[in-house]
Structure 1
Amino acid sequence: MQEKIVLYKKVADDVLAMLQQAHRVVQFDDINADNRAAFVTELQDAAGLIGASVKIDASVLDHAPRLRAISTISVGIDQFDPADLSKRGIVLLNTPDVLTETTADTGFALILATARRVVEMADYVRQGRWTHSIGEDCFGTDVQGKTLGIVGMGRIGGAVARRASLGFGMPVLYNNRRPDPTAEKAYGARFCSLDTLLQSADFVCITVPLTPETHGMIGAQELAQMRPGAILINISRGSIIDETALISALENGRLRGAGLDVFEREPVAPDSRLLKMPNVVALPHIGSATRETRHGMAVCAAQNLLDALSGNATRNVVNPEVLTPLPT
């Protein structure tokens, strides 16, 4: 039986066709002040919801009494309250595997770019300042053999560790909710406390999900523990780092630099002090932004939703307690 699905992100034609073959689809390319009321109205008789980058909270869900499944085109679930969804009997699904390698590529690109001052030196050339053989004022720092600390050894953290250990001969420290024997065996990663990691690593890469526990986990106290001249990389969520404290640590020279794909507020304000610093590489949240990966995420999310609405969801389920076991 065809049901109603509300799609709130533009997707490729083949992904839209997947959904339309099974259900009736109402599509919004994005949600803004002009169409939010129409979006909420369409939810009143919708069974499924699919999209990304929009806060779906009680103010939205209260208008969706028939909603049974939400599929987010992302691995992050910070736009949702899974506990509230479970109380409402709504299953939440995400796309955890599709973007792992692409996001890890972005993280390592930031490690290299900050260490070797790639963006700063490219601007140096474009500005016509390369008029003689370079000196120490243009030097960067090595990556090969330096110690990498990974905060959060999930899928993406493990993929970053693989690149670091096998590709660049970097000793890997990691902090996680629990030890990861696979990473330890494959990459020689060493489990340690966050304090030890911060005090020992030349590069610190943040890959934890944003939760109430991780919000603001890297603040002034943690930044003060980092080795002088260390570099901080964030490919997770901006709110995990206290941005004011980070700015201070960069301005006073305690940190060599920062590579940031995410910010507390996105898009980041053009007048942010972070954007004035030559030792900050700032990207517009491009962690998974390749054509192949974004398309793969959309296909995965569409299949997740179709499976959930047909009662066959077995993978990528965030709150499995909602699912009713099938009769045996």
Structure 2
Amino acid sequence: MKVVAVLYPDSDPKAHPDVLASAERALDLGPFLADRGHELVATSDTGDELDAHLGDAEVLITTPFWPVYLDHDRFDRASNLKLVITAGVGSDHVDSEAAVEHGVTVTEVTGSNVVSVAEHNVLQILALVRNFVPAHEQVADGRWDVADAAQDAHDLEGKTVGLIGLGAIGARTALRLKPFDVTMLYSARHRRSPAEEAVLGVRFARLDDLVARSDVICAALPLQQGSRSLFDRERLAAMKPGSWLVNTARGAIVDTDALVEAVESGHLAGYTWYPQPAPADHPWRHLPRNALTIHYSGMTVEAQQRIADGVREILAAHLEGASPPQDYVVSAPES
């Protein structure tokens, strides 16, 4: 059996001994597969080199942020493919309907990034509200202008934070924000029970009401048909002037051009990163008042270990001819 793993490149593997999710380490799956007589091909290429390997691959492993986009055409060319594993969470780079039609099971390591992304949500909220990045850049630039940094720095306490999505990540984000004495609203497809809302410190709100009332909005929902461009020009305009938008989910949840306009006008003070990786001339590289990072929030050293363990569990089931653990399955053909 041939397994192809498409993972991100590591600029200096010797300097990054704890990084598992690179093409160089390949989640340390090499010995596991070799001992069982299987071939592992690890690469960071998502183009022609990958297509050459996919022709006879049975399993494809890919990270969600260095993704292989799998559509009908690519599935047609990968005629031997039986299993796709997202090494992390978020499989929107895979056309699930096309996968089912081609008899391919799509899986991801559910829960592997939950703690990591929830902590990053709080980090970005604080970085934006406290105007941390411009103050830090003053140090790097040899400046000392307290007034310039302080004019856009605020306390988080007393603010209203809106959480869009209250799944595993959204709920943990709420628990971590609760001690900051904020008002938390949430909008989700399924409302939590009163007991759960009390524990998390949240109150349910319709999406438009949440948008209008929130000082900070944190998007913690998957990219699906209903969430693509959820924050379009009209919804961004409905946000409070000077409010912040944190999106550690998927960039396409927010309309790129509309967000650039909202930030440039001063209406908003926070934004996200799309596409990934962004081209050198992407306007968001030059906009003010941001706390941009590359898409690493769910890839802490601990998260990578959870991902590696989950991928190995899925592979072990496949090698034994068994179905993957049900909580890892995104889509599967009918048996």
Range with greater deviation from structure 2 (213-222 or 184-193): 184-193
1:62 to 51, 72, 76: 76
Range with greater deviation from structure 2 (19-28 or 96-105): 19-28
In the alignment, the residues of structure 2 paired with residue 64 and residue 13 of structure 1 have an alpha-carbon distance, to the nearest angstrom, of 23
Q: Is 2:35 the partner of 1:21?
A: yes
TM-score with structure 1 setting the length? 0.88
Shift of the alpha carbon at 1:6? 2.5
Q: Residues 49 and 127 from structure 1, CA distance in 2 versus in 1: closer, same or farther, beyond 3 angstroms? A: closer
Shift of the alpha carbon at 1:34? 5.1
Q: Residues 26 and 234 from structure 1, CA distance in 2 versus in 1: closer, same or farther, beyond 3 angstroms? A: same
1:313 to 311, 315, 324: 324
Residue aligning to 1:81: 95
Residue aligning to 2:5: 7
Alignment of 1:92-171 (within 5 A): 92-130=106-144, 134-135=146-147, 138-139=150-151, 140-165=153-178, 167-171=179-183
Alignment of 1:200-215 (within 5 A): 200-215=213-228
In the alignment, the residues of structure 2 paired with residue 275 and residue 170 of structure 1 have an alpha-carbon distance, to the nearest angstrom, of 30
Contact residue 15 and residue 299 of structure 1 kept, 8 A: no
Range with greater deviation from structure 2 (218-227 or 271-280): 271-280
- 3-state DSSP of counterpart to 1:278: coil
Q: Is 2:269 the partner of 1:271?
A: no
Q: Residues 136 and 121 from structure 1, CA distance in 2 versus in 1: closer, same or farther, beyond 3 angstroms? A: closer
CA RMSD between the two structures = 2.0
Residue aligning to 2:19: none
TM-score with structure 2 setting the length? 0.86
Contact residue 59 and residue 81 of structure 2 kept, 8 A: yes
Any stretches of 5+ residues in structure 1 without a counterpart?
none
Shift of the alpha carbon at 1:259? 4.7
- 3-state DSSP of counterpart to 1:233: strand
Shift of the alpha carbon at 1:277? 2.5
Shift of the alpha carbon at 1:48? 2.1
- 3-state DSSP of counterpart to 1:101: helix
Q: Residues 143 and 13 from structure 1, CA distance in 2 versus in 1: closer, same or farther, beyond 3 angstroms? A: closer
Contact residue 93 and residue 305 of structure 1 kept, 8 A: no
- What letter matches 1:6 in structure 2? V
- 3-state DSSP of counterpart to 1:104: helix
Residue aligning to 1:252: 265
Shift of the alpha carbon at 1:323? 5.8
Q: Is 2:58 the partner of 1:47?
A: yes
Range with greater deviation from structure 2 (138-147 or 116-125): 138-147
Residue aligning to 1:300: 310
In the alignment, the residues of structure 2 paired with residue 277 and residue 66 of structure 1 have an alpha-carbon distance, to the nearest angstrom, of 46
Alignment of 1:168-247 (within 5 A): 168-181=180-193, 183-247=196-260
In the alignment, the residues of structure 1 paired with residue 121 and residue 58 of structure 2 have an alpha-carbon distance, to the nearest angstrom, of 37
Residue aligning to 1:30: 44
In the alignment, the residues of structure 2 paired with residue 155 and residue 12 of structure 1 have an alpha-carbon distance, to the nearest angstrom, of 27
Contact residue 19 and residue 306 of structure 1 kept, 8 A: no
- 3-state DSSP of counterpart to 2:92: coil
Shift of the alpha carbon at 1:248? 1.2
Range with greater deviation from structure 2 (56-65 or 9-18): 9-18
Q: Residues 94 and 210 from structure 1, CA distance in 2 versus in 1: closer, same or farther, beyond 3 angstroms? A: same
Aligned length: 312
Contact residue 148 and residue 173 of structure 1 kept, 8 A: yes
Contact residue 89 and residue 109 of structure 2 kept, 8 A: yes
- What letter matches 1:104 in structure 2? A
- What letter matches 2:32 in structure 1? M
- What letter matches 1:313 in structure 2? P
Range with greater deviation from structure 2 (111-120 or 11-20): 11-20
Shift of the alpha carbon at 1:107? 1.2
Contact residue 71 and residue 302 of structure 1 kept, 8 A: no
In the alignment, the residues of structure 1 paired with residue 271 and residue 304 of structure 2 have an alpha-carbon distance, to the nearest angstrom, of 22
Deviations 1:13-34 (A, max 9, x none): 6333233333512313222445
